[in-house]
Amino acid sequence: QMRKKIVAGNWKMNETLQEGIELAKEINESLKAEKPNCDVVICTPFIHLASVAQVLDSSVVGLGAENCADKEKGAYTGEVSAAMVKSTGAQYVILGHSERRQYYGETAEILKEKVQLALANGLKVIFCCGETLEEREAEKQNEVVKAELEGSVFNLSAEEWKSIILAYEPIWAIGTGKTATSDQAQEMLAYIRSIVAEKYGKEVAEDTSILYGGSCKASNAPELFAKPDIDGGLIGGASLKAADFKGIIDAW
């Protein structure tokens, strides 16, 4: 099994329902003519999922949520469970994005619960990790990323691990227009692969898709994707325009 190349969009809190349906249609259309050289996924706000599932050709574009609850079901007003996400037709969920960690207090422990529930409900997890600028300046990036993985996903069985995609997103490169250099990204992804190998063995590590995220766009994607350990991108702003997103996909 060769690891998959993946380009995944993260819409974040953008697009009304109508705008989102239009965008999904455009993305779907732009990819239908010529099958992409990678798996393509779009991750949307919860409210879009069911409608967007209807307009996507699932053999061309996968669908994911940006979050799910850390509880199975019940009296948790405003929350959306992994089972609900799955029932829309989505196949993926992003967990551990730094914006969720920073602004919504998601700890390693909470994320561990979310990951378990997502997997139990048949979702593939795009699990994000990454350090702050201060942590990088203190040369603590490896330690921080390792702790994030140990805290939320290294408890998984080898079987469960097959449904995990990792995404390294240095916080200082998210929405700042600042990209990690392709060498910095490669260095971290190789490190991540090495700790996956320590935990699950070399073969599993070689089969694990690891994405880079953080101001990845059509102009820098070719250089990033040329690196041996970079298996694709998790794309913020540039996933909100079909042509920009297609430009990144075409970098494969």
Q: What share of the chain is helix, strand, coil (3-state, %, to 5)?
A: 45, 15, 40
- Among the listed residues 225, 227, 193, 186, the one whose alpha carbon sits nearest the alpha carbon of residue 209: 193
48 is catalytic: no
Contact call for residue 234 and ligand 3PY (CB under 6 A): yes
Contact call for residue 64 and ligand 3PY (CB under 6 A): no
Contact call for residue 236 and ligand 3PY (CB under 6 A): yes
Strand spans (E) along the chain: 6-10, 39-44, 61-65, 92-95, 124-129, 164-168, 210-213, 232-235
- Smallest gap from Cβ 66 to ligand 3PY, in A, equals 9
- Smallest gap from Cβ 214 to ligand 3PY, in A, equals 5
Distance between CA atoms of 107 and 35, rounded to whole angstroms?
A: 38
- Smallest gap from Cβ 174 to ligand 3PY, in A, equals 4
**Number of Cβ atoms within 10 Å of the Cβ of 213:** 28
Angstrom CA distances, 119 to 22, 56, 84, 248, stand at 30, 23, 13, 28
Nearer to ligand 3PY, 101 or 193 (CB): 101
Contact call for residue 91 and ligand 3PY (CB under 6 A): no
- Smallest gap from Cβ 172 to ligand 3PY, in A, equals 11
- Catalytic residue, chosen from 97, 106, 131, 135, is 97
97 is catalytic: yes
Contacting positions for ligand 3PY (CB under 6 A)? 10, 97, 169, 174-175, 213-216, 234-236
What residues act catalytically? 97, 169
